[in-house]
């Protein structure tokens, strides 16, 4: 589907014509997407098989998924009687009958996670229905020493930029990324920083509703919640809505269950400040100033410019919508080989509200960068787009 800005992008002055950018695909030898399928997914399936005592039927289905998705299998539409069968048949129009490696990266990855969930028995009545295959990994992370240290750090007074930075870099903690990324690759800085604009947009809409489209559970969601608490306690937001996935997705993506686990971790933290944040957020949910919501489209294989009218209406009216993480970024700007200097505003003008992206760079797509930043990054000779060592804060609104 060609990515065209919607008409309300006309409030953005002097934007150049969008270049014709090809979709990112998985059939390019040596590419990052191909490595995701050939290297990351086998590790992931192996870990899922080790983590829970699935029976022979599920084990066979998971192994077959891996073989088909990496071995040129054909994309077959879901049974119409699965709960999301009709939806997926429509989302996959144009893909069914093609080979896996002919599908766009964004679409194929999303379908892979949907099939993984089906293979474990998530959708079908039975003992494994609704059992999150990624729960063991999420639980281990949430109980781990890194979270202890991050919660302890909340006891020291921190300014709003530190809270924003924690939510931003929390996106590095994505468990699927860490399946194959080298350990200990240090953070190396922001390649775009619209944080001043982010605070200005929030000030302008002080007291309004702020939406946060969550990405990963655990070490990313905790600082997201802390940031939401800051927005509510300072009055920058009168109301906050946290949008989560309707079911497990991309390994560590946050669901409602993960949100409750994170809130409980905060409330039961030994430190007073962390526990108080957990308590306030718990109360805010009861009072309706913090709401957790979801929508099937958050697990769709499509860019956000294809969002359905009901989701558009749901998001509309917020003073700012914050999109967390790499996958949300790919969906926001379109998963394409854009020239990295393509203006962020030119690609996001269709969004129903002012929008902020908080993302560490973990895939090929990059936009809104200054030419000298691109030259500097290219000159490093490192895979700066995919290493997770760089991050950005971009705002349009």
Ligand X SMILES: O=P(O)(O)OC[C@@]1(O)O[C@H](CO)[C@@H](O)[C@@H]1O
Q: Please state, in angstroms and rounded to a whole number, the distance separating the CA atoms of residues 341 and 152.
A: 39
Alpha helices in 71-134 (DSSP H): 85-91, 105-119
- Using the rule CB under 6 A, give the single segment among 87-95, 148-156, 320-328, 347-355 that binds ligand X: 320-328
CB of 181 to ligand X, least distance (A): 9
Which two tokens mark 366?
């990059």
Rounded to the nearest 10 degrees, the angle between the axes of helix 221-233 and helix 256-267 is: 70
Please say which residue, 262 or 277, places its beta carbon nearer to ligand X.
262
Interface with ligand X (CB under 6 A), residue from 69, 195, 363, 373: 363
Q: Please state, in angstroms and rounded to a whole number, the distance separating the CA atoms of residues 43 and 375.
A: 34
Classify residue 39 by its DSSP letter: I
248 phi-psi bin (left φ>0, alpha ψ -120 to 50, beta other): beta
Interface with ligand X (CB under 6 A), residue from 239, 318, 326, 395: 326
CB of 316 to ligand X, least distance (A): 24
CB of 211 to ligand X, least distance (A): 17
- Residue pair 192/390 in contact by the 8 Å Cβ criterion: no
Interface with ligand X (CB under 6 A), residue from 70, 165, 171, 259: 171
Interface with ligand X (CB under 6 A), residue from 325, 334, 354, 397: 325
- Using the rule CB under 6 A, give the single segment among 55-63, 157-165, 173-181, 204-212 that binds ligand X: 173-181
Please say which residue, 245 or 280, places its beta carbon nearer to ligand X.
245
CB of 190 to ligand X, least distance (A): 16
Report 269-298 residues binding ligand X (CB under 6 A).
none
CB of 236 to ligand X, least distance (A): 25
Q: DSSP string spanning 254-265?
A: --HHHHHHHHHH
Q: Please state, in angstroms and rounded to a whole number, the distance separating the CA atoms of residues 55 and 160.
A: 48
Element spanning 279, H or E: helix 272-287
Interface with ligand X (CB under 6 A), residue from 209, 362, 389, 390: 362
What torsion do the CA atoms of 20, 26, 32, 38 make, to the nearest 10 degrees?
180
Task: Return the SS3 of 12.
Answer: coil
How many CB atoms neighbour CB 259 within 10 A? Answer: 21
Q: Please state, in angstroms and rounded to a whole number, the distance separating the CA atoms of residues 332 and 227.
A: 21
What residues contact 337, with CB distance under 8 A and at least 6 apart? 21, 22, 23, 24, 364, 365
CB of 127 to ligand X, least distance (A): 29
- Using the rule CB under 6 A, give the single segment among 15-23, 72-80, 224-232, 322-330 that binds ligand X: 322-330
Report 213-242 residues binding ligand X (CB under 6 A).
215-216
Binding of ligand X at residue 176 (CB under 6 A)?
yes
Applying CB under 6 A, the site for ligand X has a residue count of: 15
Classify residue 253 by its DSSP letter: B
Binding of ligand X at residue 107 (CB under 6 A)?
no
Of 82, 77, 175, 155, nearest to 123 by C-alpha is 82
Of 114, 49, 46, nearest to 76 by C-alpha is 114
Binding of ligand X at residue 255 (CB under 6 A)?
no
CB of 317 to ligand X, least distance (A): 26
Please say which residue, 82 or 382, places its beta carbon nearer to ligand X.
382
- Using the rule CB under 6 A, give the single segment among 45-53, 172-180, 239-247, 282-290 that binds ligand X: 172-180
CB of 322 to ligand X, least distance (A): 14
Report 15-44 residues binding ligand X (CB under 6 A).
36, 40
Please say which residue, 171 or 321, places its beta carbon nearer to ligand X.
171
CB of 327 to ligand X, least distance (A): 3
How many CB atoms neighbour CB 387 within 10 A? Answer: 17
Q: Which residue has its beta carbon closest to ligand X?
A: 362
- Matching residue, tokens 């969008």: 18
Which two tokens mark 57?
């039927």
Residues that bind ligand X (CB under 6 A): 36, 40, 109, 171, 174, 176-177, 215-216, 250, 325-327, 362-363
């Amino acid at each position: 589907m060609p990515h065209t800005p919607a008409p309300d992008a006309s409030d953005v002055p002097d934007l150049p014509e969008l270049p014709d950018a090809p979709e990112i695909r998985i059939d390019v030898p040596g590419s990052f997407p191909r490595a995701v399928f050939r290297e990351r997914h086998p590790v992931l399936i192996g870990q899922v098989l080790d983590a829970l005592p699935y029976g022979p039927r599920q084990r066979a289905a998971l192994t077959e998924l891996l073989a088909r998705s990496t071995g040129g299998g054909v994309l077959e539409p879901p049974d119409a009687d699965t709960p999301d069968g009709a939806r997926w048949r429509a989302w996959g129009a144009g893909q069914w009958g093609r080979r896996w490696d002919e599908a766009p990266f964004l679409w194929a990855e999303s379908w892979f996670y949907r099939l993984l969930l089906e293979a474990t028995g998530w959708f079908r009545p039975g003992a494994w229905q609704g059992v999150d295959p990624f729960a063991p990994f999420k639980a281990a992370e949430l109980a781990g020493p890194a979270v202890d240290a991050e919660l302890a750090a909340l006891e020291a007074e921190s300014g709003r930029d530190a809270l924003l930075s924690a939510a931003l870099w929390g996106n590095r903690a994505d468990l699927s990324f860490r399946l194959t990324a080298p350990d200990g690759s240090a953070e190396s800085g922001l390649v775009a920083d619209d944080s001043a604009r982010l605070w200005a947009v929030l000030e302008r809409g002080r007291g309004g509703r702020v939406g946060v489209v969550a990405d990963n559970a655990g070490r990313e969601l905790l600082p997201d919640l802390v940031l939401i608490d800051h927005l509510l306690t300072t009055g920058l937001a009168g109301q906050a809505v946290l949008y989560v996935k309707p079911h497990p997705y991309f390994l560590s993506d946050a669901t409602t269950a993960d949100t409750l686990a994170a809130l409980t971790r905060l409330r039961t933290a030994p430190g007073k400040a962390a526990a108080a944040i957990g308590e306030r957020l718990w109360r805010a949910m009861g009072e309706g100033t913090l709401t957790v919501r979801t929508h099937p489209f958050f697990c769709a294989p499509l860019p956000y410019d294809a969002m359905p009218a009901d989701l558009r209406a749901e998001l509309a009216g917020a003073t700012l919508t914050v999109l967390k993480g790499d996958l949300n970024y790919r969906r926001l700007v379109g998963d394409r080989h854009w020239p990295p200097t393509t203006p962020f505003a030119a690609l996001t003008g269709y969004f129903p509200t002012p929008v902020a992206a908080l993302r560490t760079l973990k895939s090929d797509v990059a936009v809104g960068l200054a030419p000298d930043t691109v030259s500097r990054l290219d000159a490093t000779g490192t895979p700066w787009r995919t290493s997770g060592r760089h991050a950005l804060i971009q705002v349009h609104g």
